[in-house]
Amino acid sequence: MFRRGIYAITTSPPPAGDLSSAVAAALRGGVAMLQYRDKGRDHARRLGEVLRLRELCHRHGAPLIVNDDVALAAEAGADGVHLGRDDTPVASARRALGEEAVIGVSCYADLSRAERAAAEGADYIAFGSLFPSPTKPDAVRAPLDLPAEARRRTGLPVVGIGGIHAGNIDRVAAAGIDAAAVISALFGTDDIEAAARKLTAAYNSNKGVDHAS
């Protein structure tokens, strides 16, 4: 089930310490959803990590989404998968994961892609980069008002990603974006739990507030 709020995306390699500890801290801080993102080839390691993170996420009521890898998501019993431009089609992911799975689609800055994803049965759509991103510095920029326009057209929840941090998350929330995806602003900090609490509080207090007025 899609949850609104802070949508944490793991880094590879994981932060100092270990991945489970970092994710546990983020969840204690109020993260609403978690995406496991790891492009490594060690299947046994990745499967073990997803299984551990699934247990942590479910303990906190947060869905666990696997980036790109439908087979891994199915094997580990994850809650869903996030698909990019060159990944498995939505319909194939749905057949593999079932009707209850949460399937998200990256739409970059493309409204027509969002409309296609909605027609194919996606559960949420993601747009970015909303701001300059340290993770993907060459990513195409998406206007801040684009996700909300896509939600009006498709009826799906929208995720904003790219360069979101404590200094601009108020604008993300005010723009009507359902979930703010963060990576370095969370896992790149010295105190992950405190960072998650700060991001969550700022997002919640600014939902629906028009900072342009």
Q: Would you name the residues annotated as active-site residues?
A: 37, 106, 136
H or E segment at 49? helix 43-59
Q: What phi, psi does 158 have (nearest 5°)?
A: -120, 145
| Neighbouring-strand partners of residue 66 | 36, 81
The C-alpha atoms of residue 104 and residue 68 are separated, in whole angstroms, by: 10
Query: What does the chain come to in residues?
Result: 213
The C-alpha atoms of residue 63 and residue 137 are separated, in whole angstroms, by: 28
- Pick from 138, 101, 143, 109: which is nearest to 125 by CA? 109
Residue 183, Cα to own-chain centre: how many angstroms? 9
Can you tell me which residue has the tokens 């009507």?
176
3-state secondary structure of 99: coil
